[in-house]
């Protein structure tokens, strides 16, 4: 699914990640690592949101291709959106860009229960309300890989259960997941295919 070769990512002169050769087959994977180890940097690079050196291919498609960006969704750990936009405006835009099928956004809005506030400006949201908007954005369209960065933080118990259910449901449709979490995942809710550790400036399969 994902092929990484001679990958390197630095912020100015600080090298954060170096991966010489890594292949990740389709599946559900948990990424662990200490604060600042580089999980979000890895995710953003894989999602095509950060410049890097080296080669990334997803299902044989090079990361420089526009098609690549359609195949991978990324939901931020701590989302930041312009305060003056509403959740509805942001999600409608992402749904359009990601070519989401008619009805998908409304279904997710109903499932996450954001319909009561999503027309308000982002500036009025609690951290959990904002996180729900970011989580919905991760599922929009028809990506092959959904990357959810710290998906279980900030949300209430019912939303945690919903999220596990959605991951299982979307995985059954053939979608892969990269999940990061400092807390253990619930094995009774989700069967994962492997764990990767981000440590010593690289990504290693455990
Ligand atoms: N925009 C940036 N500019 C400069 N340095 C950055 C930037 N973003 C991240 N870093 C640095 O890169 C390193 C990895 O950060 P990253 O956010 O990827 O870690 P993380 O594993 O996701 O951490 P956490 O578990 O705390 O979320 C850290 O040393 C951080 O200071």
Q: What whole-number distance in Å separates Cα of residue 78 and Cα of residue 191?
A: 25
CB 2, CB 58: distance < 8 Å: yes
Instruction: Tell me the CB-side half-sphere exposure of residue 59, using CA atoms within 13 A.
Output: 14
The residue contributing the CA closest to ligand 1 atom 31 is 36
The residue contributing the CA closest to ligand 1 atom 6 is 11
CA of 78 to the centre of ligand 1 (A): 12
Task: State whether residue 155 is helix, strand or coil.
Answer: coil
Q: What whole-number distance in Å separates Cα of residue 168 and Cα of residue 28?
A: 9
Joined tokens for residue 38: 């580089």
Task: State whether residue 186 is helix, strand or coil.
Answer: coil
CA of 171 to the centre of ligand 1 (A): 28
Ligand 1 site residues (CB inside 6 A) read 11, 16, 33, 35-41, 77, 198
From first to last of its 206 residues, the chain has per-residue pLDDT tens of 999 999 999 999 999 999 999 999 999 999 999 999 999 999 999 999 999 999 999 999 999 998 999 999 999 999 999 999 999 999 999 999 999 999 999 999 999 999 999 999 999 999 999 999 999 999 999 999 999 999 999 999 999 999 999 999 999 999 999 999 999 999 999 999 999 999 999 999 99
């Amino acid at each position: 699914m994902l092929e990484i070769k001679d990958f390197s990512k630095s912020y100015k002169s600080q090298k954060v990640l170096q991966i010489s050769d890594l292949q990740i087959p389709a599946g559900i994977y948990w990424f662990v690592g200490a604060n600042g180890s580089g999980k979000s940097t890895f995710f953003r690079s894989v999602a095509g949101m950060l410049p890097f050196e080296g080669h990334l291919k997803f299902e044989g498609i090079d990361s420089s291709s526009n098609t690549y960006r359609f195949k991978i969704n990324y939901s931020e750990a701590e989302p930041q959106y312009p305060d003056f936009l509403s959740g509805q405006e942001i999600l409608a835009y992402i749904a359009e860009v990601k070519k989401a099928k008619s009805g998908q956004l409304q279904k997710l809005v109903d499932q996450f229960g954001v319909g009561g506030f999503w027309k308000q400006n982002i500036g009025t949201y609690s951290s959990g309300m904002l996180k729900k908007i970011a989580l919905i954005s991760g599922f929009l369209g028809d990506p092959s890989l959904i990357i959810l960065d710290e998906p279980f933080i900030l949300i209430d118990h019912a939303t945690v259960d919903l999220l596990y259910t959605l991951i299982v449901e979307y995985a059954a449709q053939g979608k892969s997941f990269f999940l990061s979490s400092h807390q253990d995942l619930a094995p009774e809710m989700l069967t994962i295919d492997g764990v990767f550790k981000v440590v010593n400036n690289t990504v290693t399969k455990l």
